[in-house]
Amino acid sequence: MPYVTVGQENSATIDIYYEDLGAGQPIVLIHGFPLNGHSWEKQVLVLLNAGYRVITYDRRGFGASSQPSVGYDYDTFAADLNTLMTKLDLHDAVLVGFSMGTGEVTRYLGNYGSKRVQKAVLMAPVPPFLLKTADNPEGVDQSVFDGIMTAIVKDRPAYFSEFFREFFNVDVLLGERISNYAIQACWNVAAGASAKGTLDCVPSWLTDFRNDLPRIDIPTLIIHGDADRILPLESTAARLPKLIKNSQLKIIHGGPHAITWTHADQVNPILLAFLQQK
């Protein structure tokens, strides 16, 4: 199993697990909370068949990566990504983030620039800034995130059960676009994640990316479901075309947060068309 070392805590190294498959232009897929790189399976197969090199990795604290007690902030997440990009010596890569992974894409481009990156894709994005403040009235009240942290501390497995109901819009899409087996598989991954990392990720969602967005100087595709209950369209993706030069927004009608799974039949053609644009 391939790993890249990104740091150390006490006597243990902090290692990021990754998979590097296929040949061609590199596509780096960055997963959402609280999953791992395998959550991209509906995209990996399509991209490999289309002739791309596909790289996935597990965020620190999740999947097969190390579970340190530190580093659950976007400067560190972006540094982890940069270490992987450097180790693999990637060039002309496409960074594709889903949900929490869009923060890595945005902060990476803000901190490290686009020397190694040709295009970016933000699916169900966190940016520009989730927290409601005086200068960000479109954001979400702090009390919502406080409640999430309280629920995680009280009963993390129970919190995940409720989270995935809203993640997939189970009341609407169960049996049609999502199965109980797929939901259980996601719960299993989430339950195996770091308890500390799971909790610490919540404050990271409140990162202000508004200074990073103007630094994105490459073509950027934004995809969002208009039935997203986790990251509402109006607070996130709908605001980005005015903040990212050379960007385009595609809306998946009826799409929940987890459009990469439930609406892969619509997301994948949009993604491939963008990758093939000159």
- Whether the Cβ atoms of residue 177 and residue 254 lie closer than 8 Å to each other: no
Instruction: Name the DSSP class of 237.
Output: G
First to last CA, the chain: 35
Which domain does 95 fall in, by range? 3-276
**pLDDT tens digits, residue range 232-245?**
999 999 999 999 99
- Whether the Cβ atoms of residue 211 and residue 109 lie closer than 8 Å to each other: no
Which of 65, 99, 235, 247 is catalytic? The answer is 99
Structure confidence at residue 278 as a pLDDT band (50, 70, 90): confident
Q: Kindly report the CA angle at 183 between 177 and 186, in degrees rounded to 5? A: 125
- Whether the Cβ atoms of residue 272 and residue 264 lie closer than 8 Å to each other: no
What is the rounded distance in angstroms from the CA atom of residue 193 to the CA atom of residue 203? 17
Catalytic-residue membership of 257 = yes
Q: Residue 255's closest CA among 213, 217, 227?
A: 227
User: What is the number of domains present in the chain?
Assistant: 1
Token pair listed for 128: 């520009």
Q: Tell me: pLDDT of 44 over 90.
A: yes
Catalytic-residue membership of 92 = no
| CATH of residue 163 | 3.40.50.1820
Mean pLDDT of the chain: 98
The pTM score is 0.98
Token pair listed for 81: 């990504």
Give the pLDDT mean for 172-191. Answer: 98
- Whether the Cβ atoms of residue 16 and residue 80 lie closer than 8 Å to each other: yes
Structure confidence at residue 1 as a pLDDT band (50, 70, 90): confident
Q: Residue 126's closest CA among 148, 97, 152?
A: 97
Q: At what angle do helices 74-88 and 100-112 cross, to 10 degrees?
A: 70
Which of 15, 80, 200, 228 is catalytic? The answer is 228
Token pair listed for 209: 């990316």
Catalytic-residue membership of 141 = no
* Beta pairing, strands 220-225 & 117-123: parallel
Q: How many residues does the chain have?
A: 278
Which of 65, 194, 200, 257 is catalytic? The answer is 257
